[in-house]
């Protein structure tokens, strides 16, 4: 590892000039993470000027690299790990490639600075489409049912890849609409996988309440009960996202319309009464015909993922996906 670090430092030396740029190109083409200096990223973001948002790890800025690639730069805070561990986690994240996962282009690890550089997603995150009030939605911000269904399916594919198809199972721990980004064609790309480990490297099974990662409303009950965290926790969170895709409302929202019950509880009761139309996003109801067979399938998966999983902690991703695709494999 020390040798590798020395090689990386040598390779980034300004003395190497053109050679260094060629190395960067080679790295990019090979899928290995590019190591940026803090100065590179300051330049790319024009001094961290354009803020895209902020979350549990720090602030995200828009930037443009020297090769004109537009990127999102995440300035990490509260990293407890040493340099070596950080580089190892970054290598794992950047070697995890799938059509439905946001690609990590590179990183910066310089004195106290830890930053991650991701490909930029033109259409931001799913929450901006689902939860904006109708009057604020320009036509371009309106996601029709077909797009929503494709996003649900794409997200499922991304999560299945993390759980079952990469070398070591990666439990995301923070599935929510903010972490489902949309490219220019509204394809779903799951972001921020691998970060749970980066921020809290301690053994997840013995995590205490104070070190819980994830976001209220999407956390599986086993987090709170301090039970072992497995891929099933992601299935629970994904179930909640499915409900929100259909309803355009936060699963934990409480209002008069829901008789002061949590939206997810109210919605499930309505579906149980056969009143599925009542829970569909009004933005969809006013604009178009919705494929009710697909809606039923999505709601069924919400039930398998979030409701039944909540009590028996026995749901696996495959079961949800198979049900979701309605037999398609």
Ligand X SMILES: Nc1ncnc2c1ncn2[C@@H]1O[C@H](COP(=O)(O)OP(=O)(O)OP(=O)(O)O)[C@@H](O)[C@H]1O
Q: Based on the shown chain and the rule CB under 5 A, indicate whether residue 56 belongs to the binding site for Mg ion.
A: no
Detail the residues annotated as belonging to a binding site for ATP.
Answer: 74
Q: Based on the shown chain and the rule CB under 6 A, indicate whether residue 175 belongs to the binding site for ligand X.
A: no
Distances 191 to 156, 194, 247, 273, 324 between C-alpha atoms, Å: 13, 9, 22, 36, 21
Question: Among 40, 174, 234, 281, which one carries the catalytic annotation?
Answer: 174
Q: Are 124 and 182 in contact (CB under 8 A)?
A: yes
Site string for Mg ion, 137-176 (x = CB under 5 A): ----------------------------------------
Record the tokens describing residue 172, joined without a space: 């995301």
Q: Based on the shown chain and the rule CB under 6 A, indicate whether residue 281 belongs to the binding site for ligand X.
A: no
Q: Which stretch binds ligand X (CB under 6 A): 14-22, 121-129, 157-165, 221-229?
A: 121-129
Nearest to 88 by CA among 178, 193, 1, 184: 1
Q: Based on the shown chain and the rule CB under 6 A, indicate whether residue 215 belongs to the binding site for ligand X.
A: yes
Nearest to 92 by CA among 202, 192, 194: 194
Q: Which is nearer to Mg ion, 98 or 283 (CB)?
A: 98
Is residue 174 part of the annotated active site? The answer reads yes
- Quick one: how far is CA 118 from the chain centroid? 12
Q: Which is nearer to ligand X, 22 or 70 (CB)?
A: 70
Buried b (16+ CB within 10 A) or exposed e, 289-321: ebeeebbebbbbbbbbbbbebeeebebbbebbb
List interacting residues with Mg ion (CB under 5 A): 55, 179, 192
**What residues act catalytically?**
174
List interacting residues with ligand X (CB under 6 A): 52-57, 60, 72, 102, 118, 120-121, 124-125, 174, 178-179, 181, 191-192, 215
């Amino acid at each position: 590892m020390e040798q590798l670090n020395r090689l990386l430092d040598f390779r980034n030396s300004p003395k190497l000039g053109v050679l260094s740029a060629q190395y960067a190109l080679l790295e990019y083409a090979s899928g290995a993470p590019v190591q940026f200096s803090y100065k590179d990223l300051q330049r790319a973001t024009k001094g961290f000027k354009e803020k895209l948002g902020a979350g549990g790890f720090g602030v995200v800025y828009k930037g443009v690299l020297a090769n004109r690639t537009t990127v999102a730069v995440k300035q990490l805070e509260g990293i407890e790990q040493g340099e070596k561990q950080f580089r190892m986690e970054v290598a794992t994240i950047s070697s995890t490639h799938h059509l439905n996962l946001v690609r990590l282009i590179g990183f910066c690890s310089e004195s106290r600075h830890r930053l991650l550089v991701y490909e930029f997603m033109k259409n931001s995150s799913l929450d901006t489409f689902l939860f904006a009030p109708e009057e604020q939605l320009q036509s371009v911000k309106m996601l029709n049912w077909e797009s929503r269904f494709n996003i649900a399916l794409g997200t499922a594919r991304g999560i299945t890849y993390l759980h079952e198809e990469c070398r070591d199972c990666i439990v995301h721990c923070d599935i929510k609409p903010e972490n489902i980004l949309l490219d220019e064609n509204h394809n779903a790309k799951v972001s921020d996988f691998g970060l749970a480990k980066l921020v809290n490297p301690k053994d997840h099974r013995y995590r205490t309440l104070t070190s819980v990662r994830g976001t209220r409303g999407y956390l599986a009950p086993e987090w709170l009960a301090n039970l072992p965290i497995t891929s099933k926790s992601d299935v629970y969170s994904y179930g909640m996202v499915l409900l929100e895709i259909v309803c355009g409302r936060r699963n934990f929202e409480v209002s008069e319309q829901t008789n002061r019950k949590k939206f997810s509880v109210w919605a499930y009761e309505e579906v149980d009464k056969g009143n599925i139309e009542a829970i569909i996003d009004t933005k969809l109801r006013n604009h178009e015909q919705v494929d009710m067979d697909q809606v039923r399938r999505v709601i069924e998966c919400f039930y398998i993922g979030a409701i039944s999983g909540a009590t028996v902690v026995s749901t696996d991703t495959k079961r949800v996906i198979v049900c979701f695709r309605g037999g398609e494999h």
